[in-house]
C-alpha cells in the first residue's frame, strides 16, 4: 500500500521538480528569461504655424469727382492711377481675422494721388483647402490730392471702409512631418507658404462741395508664417 502511494504520487512529483531545476540552472548558473521587447512609443511632431501673414502688391485706384461748384456746367472728373499696397494680418481662427493695410498711388502732375491707411475685421470662409474668400469691414483714412496744374486741393476723410476678396494658397495641405497644432491650419491660407490675393475695396465717399469717390482693386503675393 505504501509502495503504491510512493510510486503513484511522490516519485512523479520529484521528477517534475528536478526537471524544472535543471532547466533553470544550466551549468550551475541561473538563466533569467529575457524581457519581452516593447516597441518604443513614437510621439508625432506637432507643427504650429504662426497665424500671421504679410503681403505686397499693386493697386488700381479709380477716382470720381464732381465738377467744382464754381463751374456748374463742368464735366465730372474721372481718373485711374496705379500704385503699391502692403498688408499684414492675423488669423484668429478659420472664420475671423484682422488685417491692416496701407497703399499709395504713384502721383501725377495732372490729377490725383491717393493715400490710405486702415484696420479691418476680416470675416472669411474656406471654399476648399486652397481657396479662401473674405470681406473687409473696418476703419481707415483716405487722402486724395488733386491738381490740374492750376488749382490744387486735398480731400481727406476718416471713416468706414469695406471690401471683398479672394485668396489662393500654394502651400501643401499637410505639414512636412507630424500634425498641425490647430485643426484649421490645413485649410485655406492658414498653413505656412506663399499665396495670391485679389480684392475690391471702397475707400472714400466725400459728400462735400466737390463730391469725391474712391474705389480700388488690389492684387499681390502673400506669405503665411
Instruction: Give pLDDT tens digits for 172-209.
Output: 766 655 666 666 665 666 667 899 999 999 987 766 55
pLDDT of 27 reads 53
Mean pLDDT, to the nearest integer, of 27-31? 51
Q: For the residues 50-68, what does the mean pLDDT come to? A: 86
Domains of the chain from N-terminus onward: 50-224 (2.40.160.20)
- Residue 206 β-bridge partners: 212
Q: In the predicted model, is pLDDT for residue 150 greater than 70?
A: no
The pLDDT confidence band at residue 24, using thresholds 50, 70 and 90, is very low
Burial of 10 (0-12, 13-18, 19+ CB in 10 A): exposed
Cα separation, 86 vs 222, whole angstroms? 10
The whole-number pLDDT of residue 63 equals 83
Integer CA distances (angstroms), 138 to 68, 97, 117, 163, in order: 30, 12, 11, 9
Amino acid at each position: 500500500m505504501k509502495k503504491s502511494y510512493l510510486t503513484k504520487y511522490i516519485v512523479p512529483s520529484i521528477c517534475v521538480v528536478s526537471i524544472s531545476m535543471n532547466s533553470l540552472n544550466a551549468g550551475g548558473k541561473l538563466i533569467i528569461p529575457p524581457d519581452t521587447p516593447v516597441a518604443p512609443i513614437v510621439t508625432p511632431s506637432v507643427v504650429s504655424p504662426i497665424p500671421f501673414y504679410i503681403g505686397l502688391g499693386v493697386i488700381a485706384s479709380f477716382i470720381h469727382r464732381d465738377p467744382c461748384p464754381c463751374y456748374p456746367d463742368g464735366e465730372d472728373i474721372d481718373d485711374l492711377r496705379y500704385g503699391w499696397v502692403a498688408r499684414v494680418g492675423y488669423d484668429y481662427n478659420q472664420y475671423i481675422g484682422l488685417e491692416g493695410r496701407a497703399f499709395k498711388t504713384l502721383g501725377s502732375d495732372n490729377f490725383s494721388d491717393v493715400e490710405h491707411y486702415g484696420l479691418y475685421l476680416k470675416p472669411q470662409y474656406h471654399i476648399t483647402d486652397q481657396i479662401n474668400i473674405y470681406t473687409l469691414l473696418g476703419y481707415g483714412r483716405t487722402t486724395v490730392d488733386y491738381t490740374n496744374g492750376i488749382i490744387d486741393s486735398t480731400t481727406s476723410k476718416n471713416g468706414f471702409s469695406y471690401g471683398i476678396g479672394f485668396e489662393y494658397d500654394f502651400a501643401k495641405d499637410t505639414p512636412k512631418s507630424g500634425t498641425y497644432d490647430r485643426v484649421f491650419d490645413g485649410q485655406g491660407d492658414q498653413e505656412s507658404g506663399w499665396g495670391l490675393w485679389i480684392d475690391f475695396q471702397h475707400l472714400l465717399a466725400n459728400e462735400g462741395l466737390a463730391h469725391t469717390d474712391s474705389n480700388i482693386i488690389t492684387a499681390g503675393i502673400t506669405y503665411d508664417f
